[in-house]
Structure 1
Amino acid sequence: MTEGEGEYALPGDADAVRDALVAWYEDGHRDFPWRRTDDPYAILVSEVMSQQTQLSRVEDAYHAFLEKWPTTAGLAAADRADVVGFWSANSLGYNNRAKYLHEAAQQVENDYGGEFPETPDELSELMGVGPYTANAVASFAFNNGDAVVDTNVKRVLYRAFDVPDDDAAFEEAANELMPDGESEVWNNAIMELGGVACGKSPNCDDAGCPWREWCAAYASGDFSAPDVPEQSTFEGSRRQKRGRAVGALREHGELELDELGPRVRVDYGGDTGREWLRGLLEDLADDGLVELEDRGEETVARLAA
């Protein structure tokens, strides 16, 4: 582990962490229409609509909005009452977001000659565009953003690498992890991880979380987070035992089953002895996390290379 400037530790093999996440994302992710475009206007519309609004409701509204006002020029020329009326009719949250989006379109047309600014700092000059939205548009439209830090990303960093619940620490860790020049795929990938595998109720194994090998929460079974204050219901579960096995092997290198067993569960033995543990480790081996080696009458487990 290498220490960041804050009171947390990121994995020493950061390239492996990055590669694992990007490969997981590119292997299959949710297919939203705004992920199929690099039009900054369409991306801005999706980002503003998605603020505290369920994505299932956003998708239909997104298509309808862009059909009605397909360009910044069209939106800028629209009657603001019509834009606000659309927002309200589609239950997209606070109506001031519609007003700000309308004003931002007018700024693009009047101040930027119809061409979207491309950097986070410039995008932040648009009405209603804060640091998060500016980074999102810069990343997804121009591959030119800093790390995006939303609630999902904070949850991932808090659980995986013990990043403290502090905005500056989250920003620092997120930017340290993000590979240079890859803000588009990286920000999409880490947000997808938080939305699919590392939600309030984590789905580590079923979603094939690519960071299980390094994740502190997976090792300990404690999936609390800034937006998940209560102890996880995973206490005592098989998933927790898997995490403990990974954590013990990370700490000790390789262990024989009877050395590993008591580190995984305090009642190791009998019905929850070697046969049970071997089944648990074979599951982890199937997921590519653990290797098993038979040495005569002993079986040794280690993290997969």
Structure 2
Amino acid sequence: MTTGAQEWALPDDLEGVREALLAWYKDDHREFPWRRTDDPYEILVSEVMSQQTQLGRVVEAWEGFLERWPTTAELADADRADVVGFWTDHSLGYNNRAKYLHEAAGQVEEEYDGEFPDTPDELQELMGVGPYTANAVASFAFNNGDAVVDTNVKRVLYRAFDVPDDDAAFEDAASDLMPAGRSRVWNNAIMELGGVACEQTPKCDAAGCPWREWCGAYASGDFTAPDVPTQPSFEGSRRQFRGRVIGTLREYDELELDTLGHRIRVDYTPDGEYGREWLAGLLTDLESDGLVEFDDGGAEPVARLQR
């Protein structure tokens, strides 16, 4: 296959490659509860929670969320502040994901009569559901997805089959590799390969990588791969203080700007680097996401949770 000026090809023994990976995955893979369900709502919750959050931390949050709101109907009827509060309490990252999940549940109930759409294109009509998440839900709930291409999969394809660092090439290779009608197990398997064997520091032999006999990197010892973006530190980050704002406002009907500032960070000073201007910017962003109301028209600006 040709991409630009570069030529690359998958192994001739595609069936052998596929069977080796699926057998490896069947024999030994990490157990996560969402891998034991085909309920699209439960899978959507797991996918949204897993964005930039370690999977081990997601398990408890996922189970707690579904215990509290076990169906889209119950989530759609929930107070959005409670949903956002749950998100904050479990340190699940950007709170607007909770808002979008809440709105998506409402769409399923109101626009789809409580039944999830089952194709990647239709699933993207749900609030906050992009191409990757839509494909994951279509794959894992309905076995009706395309080949997944995430960071782990790109790393595997680049190392194993010399697929160039090009999005179109990765899409083509992933699609050609996936056996027809098996997106559920295949996408789980190839992501597992990238997650436990072909990590940034590979564990080829220790993890029993099933593709060693075909892998160019294993043969050459050159395990370079495309750069992998890293998650910025949470401590002291804007994400952390967004969460603190939401958590603090849950305890009060409303707070004046300076009172809120002193409650969310010890170094808050109204005219300092982390003062009124900084906090007003944070609140404006949260207001744009539909999470808070920021009234700065009076003598003392006031913040409250969006209801």
Shorter-chain TM-score bucket reads 0.7 to 0.9
How many angstroms apart in 2 are the aligned matches of 1:5 and 1:226? Answer: 16
Paired residue secondary structure (2:62)? helix
Letter in 2 for 1:119: T
How many angstroms apart in 2 are the aligned matches of 1:48 and 1:73? Answer: 18
For structure 1, the residue ranges without an aligned partner over 5 or more in a row are 230-305
How many angstroms apart in 1 are the aligned matches of 2:2 and 2:157? Answer: 13
How many angstroms apart in 2 are the aligned matches of 1:84 and 1:217? Answer: 44
CA contact (8 A) 1:123 1:129 kept: yes
Q: Confirm or deny that 1:37 pairs with 2:21.
A: no
Q: Could you say which structure has the greater relative contact order, defined with CA pairs below 8 angstroms and 6 or more residues apart?
A: 2
Q: Counterpart of 1:108?
A: 108
Q: Counterpart of 1:196?
A: 196
CA deviation after TM superposition for structure 1 residue 211, in Å = 0.3
Q: Counterpart of 2:73?
A: 73
Q: Counterpart of 1:11?
A: 11
Paired residue secondary structure (1:9)? coil
Letter in 2 for 1:10: L
How many angstroms apart in 1 are the aligned matches of 2:56 and 2:166? Answer: 30
Q: Counterpart of 1:154?
A: 154
How many angstroms apart in 1 are the aligned matches of 2:61 and 2:78? Answer: 17
With the length of structure 1 as denominator, give the TM-score of the two structures. Answer: 0.73
Q: Counterpart of 2:24?
A: 24
Q: Counterpart of 2:176?
A: 176
* Percent identity (aligned): 80
Q: CA RMSD in A?
A: 1.3
CA deviation after TM superposition for structure 1 residue 5, in Å = 5.8
Paired residue secondary structure (1:73)? helix
Q: Residues 49-128 of structure 1 correspond to what in structure 2 (within 5 A)?
A: 49-128=49-128
Q: Residues 189-228 of structure 1 correspond to what in structure 2 (within 5 A)?
A: 189-227=189-227
CA deviation after TM superposition for structure 1 residue 162, in Å = 1.1
Letter in 1 for 2:106: Q
Paired residue secondary structure (2:129)? coil
Letter in 2 for 1:27: D
Q: Counterpart of 2:163?
A: 163
How many angstroms apart in 2 are the aligned matches of 1:163 and 1:80? Answer: 44
CA deviation after TM superposition for structure 1 residue 131, in Å = 0.9
Paired residue secondary structure (1:48)? helix
CA deviation after TM superposition for structure 1 residue 227, in Å = 2.9
CA contact (8 A) 2:151 2:228 kept: no
**Cα deviation digits, residues 10-55 of structure 1 (max 9, x gap):** 1011111001000100011111000000000000000000000011
CA contact (8 A) 1:155 1:227 kept: no
CA contact (8 A) 1:204 1:212 kept: yes
Q: Counterpart of 1:129?
A: 129
